Amino acid sequence: MALSITLFLLASMHFQGSSSSSSLRMGSSLSVENPQHILISPNAIFSAGFVSIGENAYSFAIWFTEPRFHSPNTVTWMANRDQPVNGKRSKLSLTDDGNIVLIDASLITAWSSNTDSLDPVELHLKDDGNLVLHQLQGTVLWQSFDFPTDTLVPGQPLTRYTQLVSSRSESNHSSGFYTFSFDDSNVLGLHYDGPDVSSSYWPQPWLISWDAGRTNFNSSRIGVMNFLGLFNSTDNFTFVTSDYGTVLQRRLKVDCDGNVRVYSRKSVLQKWYVSWQAISSGCTPHGICGPNSFCVYVHASGRKCLCLPGHRLKNHSDWSQGCEPLFQLTCHGNESMFLEIPNVEFYGYDNHYVEVSNYSACENLCLQDCNCKGFQHSYTDDKRFYRCYTKTQLLNGKRSPVFQGTTYLRLPKSNSFSHKQYASEPLYDHVCSVQLQRAYIKTHANRFVKIFLWFSTALGAFEVICAFAIWRLLVWTRQKSNVDREGYHLTETGFRKFSFSELKKATKGFSEEIGRGGGGVVYKGILSDQRHAAIKRLYNAKQGEGEFLAEVGIIGKLNHMNLIEMWGYCAEGKHRLLVYEYMENGSLAENLSSNTLDWRKKYNIALGTARVLAYLHEECLEWILHCDIKPQNILLDSNYEPKLADFGLSKLLNRNNPNNPSISMIRGTRGYMAPEWVFNLPITSKVDVYSYGIVVLEMVTGKSTTRSIHNGEERYDGRVVEWVREKRENSSSCWLKEIIEADIGGDYDDRKMEILSKVALKCVMEDRDSRPTMSQVVEMLQ
Ligand SMILES: *[C@@H]1O[C@H](CO)[C@@H](O)[C@H](O)[C@H]1NC(C)=O
Ligand SMILES: *[C@@H]1O[C@H](CO)[C@@H](O)[C@H](O)[C@H]1NC(C)=O
Ligand SMILES: *[C@@H]1O[C@H](CO)[C@@H](O)[C@H](O)[C@H]1NC(C)=O
Ligand SMILES: *[C@@H]1O[C@H](CO)[C@@H](O)[C@H](O)[C@H]1NC(C)=O
Ligand SMILES: *[C@@H]1O[C@H](CO)[C@@H](O)[C@H](O)[C@H]1NC(C)=O
Ligand SMILES: *[C@@H]1O[C@H](CO)[C@@H](O)[C@H](O)[C@H]1NC(C)=O
Ligand SMILES: *[C@@H]1O[C@H](CO)[C@@H](O)[C@H](O)[C@H]1NC(C)=O
């Protein structure tokens, strides 16, 4: 395989003479004007030479060798990223005294290795992509691995002396603002180092390193990715790529959007794909939008920045400078007012953080402080008090439909600014958005599914297997060393590996079954620390442990209050188990059939479920569809807060097409499935919106889509949607009363139930484009 690729490369490159060798001798040079003047590593994987990085601007670089007709070069190292040279008469020379110098046409030295040697030396491009200046007897004087640009290749260590620095943009290779390096406390992380402000944003800065799964007691500071796709560093940070194993080429790069990704490809003719990334949410990196502006992430178009009301963009060619106020605040509290900016969060620069009992206490705190630009407040989970943060700077802003706090912006009392000011402003696409492929493929099973469905609609509960692909950006940041760490179970890294015998004991030999479905049987168990858990034993899981771990990692990484929390997993021999938090109040399905929910609880469940779906669809960079929303998969905690279960599980089950591991099978459930599945239309996040609408209609009407109701009453037989629509059209005024479940009685908020019913009807439109997105649903319900 490797040999044939090499041959292919050699054949396609037309070497001329001896100019393309792997070494440069003393006194010779490579010229920018001669495209044949390149070094090629003995295995032909890497090349070094001049690359064009702009109009008449060249850099000396190392890149993955591409077939001649193939574009563009994937650069792994650059000598002079910040000082490109002229396209004429520039050259890189190895001088007689052992220095490598890059001289521009104007005879200015653009870059140099600053080495000297009395003994003969040679510059050699090695098979691993390291460009080495060594004496003929072997001593290394200089090597490119010690001066990385924005990329690490397998085997290249990141050390206390090195850092990766992103480029300014996709097209501008000069040094940007994001760095990937060890900080002073020996922790490897991502940092924003802008012209005016700097901050760290990964691992999450509010976690102490221990809780982020890191240790700061090893000051060796080395991190390296091996050839199989395993990265580990001395702060105990470890991950494996989703394609762990031998692929042709890999590289780890800090991208200009502030994320670190591993890219892989299986042949030189294929495109690079992302096999790991550090951050899963688009607006997480700091510094994207400068002061007084905030970042919005939309799947279709990527990130953009918006100014706060009453502010205008400072510099049209540079969002990182943010926005400036069009007003002046006085120090008198009586001359300010506050404008509510919902779902927008500004990270850091809190002057005060206090717990207060009401809104006006927080407002007063801000008014008493001349430097206070606004405040953010939010409920604590148990809703007994507010958290109040007063802000001296509005930095690192982001809007997210699932952020539950609100920011209040301080403005002069007499102003004419309003929300519309930013909502209607032309949107500005950020200079750097890394486009990720988000293919969503159905298998050929569709024709069969379609026919089968038509025949079986009368057959009662019936599950259809459908297929989908998720672009696999898998994350495995938790390491096994957490296993023994008692006491940190509930933190961010509480995720751990369990042994089979431990789980067997916890479930008393798998004796108490509490549910079935989603590919396994769920048992109740009590863990050694007395926590109650729901333990799912998968029937038919993927056998490979590495792959299973990578898949579990993505699920374990997701974090939302309305997503059921996964505490860990077990992968031992043939056993594959998942450990979840246990939900006292069972599933929504059980609660609906036993009529335990009043309208407030139902409304809250609808809102919470919408929030978590908006999170899965729009917040995560991993584009996740649930594809099996139904009351059985919505669990309720002790406060009747909904928790979505069973998402992502399909990826763990062994129903894969062996030729395409990125296609996994998932089940939909009849009664909740959108028409797209039947009509063989492209599957988008709107399939979840449809299923969600059905669930909400069930909650409102109390009528099941999968159960039929008889004895004198109308029969619904899965036709709840038509039934509600008819009621609405035929009896205009009191349709609500007619559809609402009798058991709720008269005691409900008309307005809210009307909103709920109308939203649900929109969600179940046949035409998927007419259905709202989940974040629109959240907005309507809020
Ligand atoms: C790249 O960005 C740097 C810093 O902003 C700027 O000085 C340089 O002119 C840019 N280069 C190109 C080719 O746009
Ligand atoms: C880090 O990992 C090593 C090896 O996996 C383990 O022995 C050590 O206890 C870990 N340290 C911490 C602080 O977790
Ligand atoms: C990474 O893991 C490998 C194998 O487990 C080990 O040999 C190496 O020392 C580790 N490196 C670091 C920096 O922890
Ligand atoms: C730091 O990590 C390296 C590589 O994992 C290991 O060899 C070394 O012993 C560690 N040092 C300390 C003080 O733990
Ligand atoms: C806007 O930003 C660019 C790039 O950072 C800079 O070159 C330019 O001088 C700035 N313009 C103004 C008016 O500040
Ligand atoms: C606000 O209070 C200050 C002093 O307390 C006073 O000088 C000013 O006139 C007041 N402004 C308004 C608009 O009432
Ligand atoms: C708000 O809380 C403060 C103290 O926290 C209290 O003095 C004040 O009366 C409260 N105001 C209202 C309207 O409840």
Q: Is residue 216 one of the residues assigned to a domain? A: no
Question: What's the average model confidence in pLDDT over 35-48?
Answer: 92
741, 776: one domain: yes
Q: Is residue 22 one of the residues assigned to a domain? A: yes
Residue 315 Cβ inside 6 Å of ligand 7? The answer reads no
pLDDT band at 451 (very low <50, low <70, confident <90, very high): very low
455, 407: one domain: no
Quote the pLDDT of residue 462: 26
Q: Is residue 262 pLDDT above 90, yes or no?
A: yes
Report the candidate in 608, 612, 718, 609 with the shortest Cα–Cα distance to residue 669.
718
Question: Whole domain around residue 636: which residue ranges?
Answer: 588-781
Q: Kindly report the protein residue whose alpha carbon is nearest to atom 6 of ligand 1.
A: 174
Residue 232 Cβ inside 6 Å of ligand 2? The answer reads no
Cα–Cα distance for residue pair 670/459, rounded to 1 Å: 10
Quote the pLDDT of residue 518: 62
Quote the pLDDT of residue 627: 74
243, 122: one domain: yes
pLDDT, the chain, mean: 77
| Nearest atom within ligand 5 for CA of residue 318 | 2
pLDDT band at 93 (very low <50, low <70, confident <90, very high): very high
Strands 74-78 and 57-64, by their bridges, are antiparallel
Q: Is residue 610 one of the residues assigned to a domain? A: yes
Q: Is residue 95 pLDDT above 90, yes or no?
A: yes
How many whole angstroms from 353 Cα to the centroid of ligand 4? Answer: 38
Residue 361 Cβ inside 6 Å of ligand 7? The answer reads yes
Q: Is 501 helix (H, G, I), strand (E, B) or coil?
A: helix
- Find the residues whose C-beta lies inside 6 A of ligand 6: 332, 334-335
Which domain CATH number covers 255?
Answer: 2.90.10.10
Which domain CATH number covers 533?
Answer: 3.30.200.20
Question: What's the average model confidence in pLDDT over 77-81?
Answer: 96
Residue that terminates a domain, selected from 550, 581, 612: 581
Q: What is the pLDDT of residues 699-720, one digit of tens each?
A: 888 777 655 444 444 444 457 7
More reliable by pLDDT, 749 or 222: 222
How many whole angstroms from 322 Cα to the centroid of ligand 5? Answer: 12
Q: b/e string for 280-315 if b means 16 or more Cβ within 10 A?
A: bbbbbbbbbbbbbbbbbbebeebbbbbbbbbbebbe
| Nearest atom within ligand 4 for CA of residue 232 | 5
At residue 533's C-alpha, the angle toward residues 527 and 537, to 5°, is 100
Quote the pLDDT of residue 698: 87
pLDDT band at 70 (very low <50, low <70, confident <90, very high): low
How many whole angstroms from 526 Cα to the centroid of ligand 6? Answer: 63
Q: Is 109 helix (H, G, I), strand (E, B) or coil?
A: strand
How many whole angstroms from 232 Cα to the centroid of ligand 3? Answer: 6
How many whole angstroms from 431 Cα to the centroid of ligand 5? Answer: 15
Kindly report which listed range (86-95, 258-267, 275-284, 633-642) carries the lowest average pLDDT score: 275-284
Q: What is the pTM of this model?
A: 0.66
DSSP character string of 504-532: HHHTTTTT-EEEEETTEEEEEEE-TTS-E
Residue 215 Cβ inside 6 Å of ligand 2? The answer reads yes
Strands 293-298 and 397-399, by their bridges, are parallel
Quote the pLDDT of residue 505: 92
Question: What's the average model confidence in pLDDT over 390-405?
Answer: 83
pLDDT band at 541 (very low <50, low <70, confident <90, very high): low
Residue 186 Cβ inside 6 Å of ligand 3? The answer reads no
Burial of 486 (0-12, 13-18, 19+ CB in 10 A): exposed
Question: Would the annotation count 758 as a binding residue?
Answer: no
568, 593: one domain: no
Query: By the 8 A CB rule, do 417 and 309 touch?
Result: yes
pLDDT band at 22 (very low <50, low <70, confident <90, very high): very high
697, 737: one domain: yes
Question: What's the average model confidence in pLDDT over 290-304?
Answer: 80
pLDDT band at 304 (very low <50, low <70, confident <90, very high): confident
688, 558: one domain: no
Quote the pLDDT of residue 153: 97
Share of the chain above pLDDT 90, in %: 29
Element (H, E) at 701: helix 686-701
Q: Kindly report the protein residue whose alpha carbon is nearest to atom 12 of ligand 2.
A: 215
Other C-beta atoms closer than 10 Å to the C-beta of 539 total: 11
Q: Is residue 572 one of the residues assigned to a domain? A: yes
Q: Is residue 204 one of the residues assigned to a domain? A: no
For residue 385, give both structure tokens.
């008090």
341, 418: one domain: yes
Q: What is the pLDDT of residues 325-363, one digit of tens each?
A: 988 888 887 888 898 888 888 887 776 677 777 888 889
Cα–Cα distance for residue pair 123/106, rounded to 1 Å: 24
Q: Is residue 659 pLDDT above 80, yes or no?
A: no
Q: Is residue 347 one of the residues assigned to a domain? A: yes
Cα–Cα distance for residue pair 679/450, rounded to 1 Å: 7
Q: Kindly report the protein residue whose alpha carbon is nearest to atom 12 of ligand 1.
A: 172
Catalytic residues: 628
Cα–Cα distance for residue pair 379/386, rounded to 1 Å: 5
Residue 238 Cβ inside 6 Å of ligand 2? The answer reads no
Tokens 């926590």, located at residue: 531
Q: Is residue 654 pLDDT above 70, yes or no?
A: no
Question: What's the average model confidence in pLDDT over 111-119?
Answer: 94
Which ligand is closest in space to the CA of residue 331? 6
Q: Kindly report the protein residue whose alpha carbon is nearest to atom 6 of ligand 6.
A: 332
- Find the residues whose C-beta lies inside 6 A of ligand 4: 218, 220, 234
Cβ neighbours of residue 397 closer than 8 Å, sequence gap 6 or more: 289, 292, 293, 294, 295, 308, 344, 345, 346, 347
Q: Is residue 741 pLDDT above 60, yes or no?
A: yes
User: What is the total count of domains within the chain?
Assistant: 5
At residue 513's C-alpha, the angle toward residues 508 and 517, to 5°, is 135
Q: Is residue 180 one of the residues assigned to a domain? A: no
Q: Is residue 459 pLDDT above 80, yes or no?
A: no
Residue that terminates a domain, selected from 581, 598, 625: 581
Query: By the 8 A CB rule, do 395 and 194 touch?
Result: no
DSSP character string of 561-622: TTBPPEEEEEEETTEEEEEEE--TT-BHHHHHHTT---HHHHHHHHHHHHHHHHIIIIIBSS
Quote the pLDDT of residue 571: 82
Q: Is residue 588 pLDDT above 80, yes or no?
A: yes
Q: Is residue 491 pLDDT above 50, yes or no?
A: no
Quote the pLDDT of residue 419: 52
Q: Is 344 helix (H, G, I), strand (E, B) or coil?
A: strand
Q: Is residue 549 one of the residues assigned to a domain? A: yes
112, 236: one domain: yes
More reliable by pLDDT, 205 or 696: 696
Tokens 């938090």, located at residue: 581
Strands lying side by side in the sheet with 91-94 = 29-31, 91-94, 100-103, 109-112
Q: Is residue 545 pLDDT above 80, yes or no?
A: no
522, 641: one domain: no
Query: By the 8 A CB rule, do 758 and 772 touch?
Result: no
DSSP character string of 41-92: -TTSSEEEEEEEEETTEEEEEEEE---TT----EEEEES-TTS-B-SSS-EE
767, 621: one domain: yes
309, 447: one domain: no
For residue 157, give both structure tokens.
């260590």
Residue that terminates a domain, selected from 532, 556, 581: 581
How many whole angstroms from 226 Cα to the centroid of ligand 1? Answer: 34
Quote the pLDDT of residue 243: 80
575, 600: one domain: no
Cα–Cα distance for residue pair 574/715, rounded to 1 Å: 46
